[in-house]
Structure 1
Amino acid sequence: MNKKLWLTYGMLTLATATWGSAFIAGKLAVQSFQPATVAFLRFFGAAILLFPLMWIMEKNRKKLTLKDIGLFTVLGLTGIALYNICFFLASKHAPVIKSSLFIASNPVLIVLLSGLFLKETITRNNIIGMIIALTGVTFIITDGHLLTLFQLGFEPIDLVLLGAVISWALYSVVGKVVLKKYSAVESTTYAVAFGTLFLLPFALVETSWQDVQQASLTTWVAIAHMSIFVTVVSFVMYYYGIKEVGAAKASIFINVMPVSAVLMATIYLGETFTWAHGVGAAFVLSGVYVGTNTKIFQKKIEKISA
């Protein structure tokens, strides 16, 4: 495996691991603001950072066409506005065990949509790696008690979580189309700009100036963290990863996010790290390795047929 590919995989791992911290930061932020407002503040802060970054890094920026504006509108609506409203609603109202599992199912839908609409090749390794990683995620969030999943039952918040999964899958697939013309920085900047505009009306309706003044320092630190690290740094790295290895393969790394969330909850929220977390993390890492290494099963097949 060449150095560039290792660098890409490293960036995807770091990006999705950083997303895990959004579970912690989101829990803190929704104590002071409503979900849509948290999302707006997060991306408004990110936009302030992204535009200067784009102007510095991208000297030969391409002119936006009407088709491009349409694509970026879809990106802003799906991956920025709808996904984050659903995500922060889940942070406030859904059990972590349920929301984590829903979010972890993202790669399955991304791989299917990538195969259908982008004609990306879905390999045996992609599917096997995804199953192994999803098994590990399930192990982690149920703490080894897999039957817990069947005891949760259906709740209205499940529709919100389903909306989050569909929104992010569409964002990843449409993002691949946009990346054929625009860089990772440009794509992220424009998507965040359109998403912020979609979120603005919600924030104005549900938040007063008094809410802004009364918000705690912890809330502002959490929002700043989500703006800088979870959004600007991680989104650019994730988009770069999609451009280099495709949406289907990049989506496998999303399974790193719940593992990261559990580890951070252990460190920062004092939650206990159990044996199930360790076993689950091993499954996730194995799944990511299998899903991204096309030669593992190919060599075995060649040996059998030889």
Structure 2
Amino acid sequence: MVSKFRLHTALFLVSLIYAATYSLAKDIMPHYMQPLGIVTLRIVGAALFFGILKQFVAPQERISGRADNLRAILSGVLGIGLNQLSFFAGLNLSTPINASLLQTISPIVVVLASALLLKDRITLPKVVGICLGAAGAAALILSRPSSGAVPQAALLGNLFLLVNATVFGLYLVVVAPLMRTYHAFTVLARIFLVGAVIAVPAGLPQAIRANYSSFPLYIWAEIGYMVFFLTILAYLLNNWALKYATPSLLGVYIYLQPVLAVLIAVATGKDTLTWDKAWQAALIFVGVWLVSKKPKPVPAANPPFAPAPTPD
């Protein structure tokens, strides 16, 4: 059994890595590099890393069967290609706080996708949660920017971020059977390769046009952070933690990430927290909490004994 300290450390590091990204990325784009150029560097670097590592860890394993191969392609399209392209395109036009809050609606998308694709039952609290989360997200998307951004550009950026949260939620549903069947590096190597096929043609021109000779040292460090910490380390830690974390524990860290992102954005002067964003965040958080809440099992008519609760 893995220690709770190691599990919490992994989950906290993943949340911190993602939270810092919202502010660090604003240093790079659009002045030094356009968003799709950053995505190209991230995906190419991760595809090479996981492709090489897979040859050492699981050299003989292959994704087999038509259904699993189609699932791997769809996972690469949703979780790598569209997910990363829409995230950086949206963050470039929106603000760190908006981006971090809109990311939290992914669990709502997971519930809807599970209901449609896996025929999971949606309870009344989940319906209420979906409505509240949707209302908070809609209010956030349509709100006027507080950072001096052009309203039309901020609206487009928020819509890109909504697409990002949606495709990532769908990706979690689609990729789950692959992660249960194959080694994680086998799956990651394949889906990043598929993602590279989508992202590189779109982002390579921006990556080539960047004036790398003008990059100061801290920009190189932040690009390295995007490639290694955000793309490689976060995926490794997240996949490891998902094997041991309970749904309730994962729910805690869903809420922690935007809190950390807000603190970092405000502390670094990248964004400001307003009362409007606070109540919009509250709607989203309550909605996600209701959606993620596990329904109580229906007790038997005459249970012989009451089972003891299991710790998280």
- TM-score between both structures, scaled by the size of structure 2: 0.70
How many angstroms does 1:239 deviate by? 2.9
Correspondence 1:22-101 to 2 at 5 A: 22-30=21-29, 31-101=31-101
The structure that is helix-richer by fraction is 1
| Comparing 43-52 and 27-36, the one that deviates more | 43-52
Report the Cα distance in structure 2 between the residues aligned to 1:290 and 1:13, rounded to whole angstroms.
23
CA 1:256–1:276 in 2, change beyond 3 Å: closer, same or farther?
farther
Structure 1 residues 240 and 281, CA gap change in structure 2 (3 angstroms) = farther
| Cα deviation, residue 205, structure 1 | 3.0
Partner of 1:193: 193
SS of equivalent residue, structure 1 residue 180: helix
Q: Distance in 2 between matches of 1:282 and 1:160?
A: 21
Q: 2:174 corresponds to which residue?
A: 174
Give 5+ residue unaligned stretches, structure 2: 145-150, 298-305, 307-312
Structure 2 distance, partners of 1:240, 1:128, is 32
Q: Any conservation in 2 of the 1:90–1:157 contact (CA below 8 Å)?
A: yes
> Alpha-carbon deviations, 1:86-134, whole Å to 9, x = none?
11122211133433332221221113323442456778998999999x7
TM-score by length of 1: 0.71
Tell me the alpha carbon deviations over residues 251-298 of structure 1, each in whole angstroms, 9 at most, x when there is no partner.
763333212212333555587899999999999999999998969x77
- 1:1-306 correspondence to structure 2 within 5 Å: 3=2, 8=7, 10-30=9-29, 31-118=31-118, 151-152=143-144, 155-208=155-208, 211-244=211-244, 250=250, 253-269=253-269
Sequence identity percentage = 23
Q: Per-residue CA shift, 1:211-269, capped at 9, x if unaligned?
A: 34444433322121122111112112323444556889857633332122123335555
Read off the aligned partner of 1:205 and give its amino acid letter.
Answer: P
User: Does the aligned pair in 2 maintain the 1:16–1:256 contact within 8 Å?
Assistant: yes
* Structure 2: distance between partners of 1:73 and 1:260: 33
The more displaced of 284-293 and 165-174 is: 284-293
Number of aligned positions between the proteins:
290
Aligned pair in 2 of structure 1 residues 50, 207: CA closer, same or farther (>3 Å)? closer
User: C-alpha displacement at 1:168, in angstroms?
Assistant: 0.7
Q: Give 1:174's aligned amino acid.
A: V
CA 1:261/1:158 → structure 2, altered by over 3 Å: closer, same or farther? Answer: closer
Segment of structure 1 superposing worse, 189-198 or 152-161: 152-161
CA distance in 1, matches of 2:179, 2:207: 35
What letter matches 2:43 in structure 1?
A: F
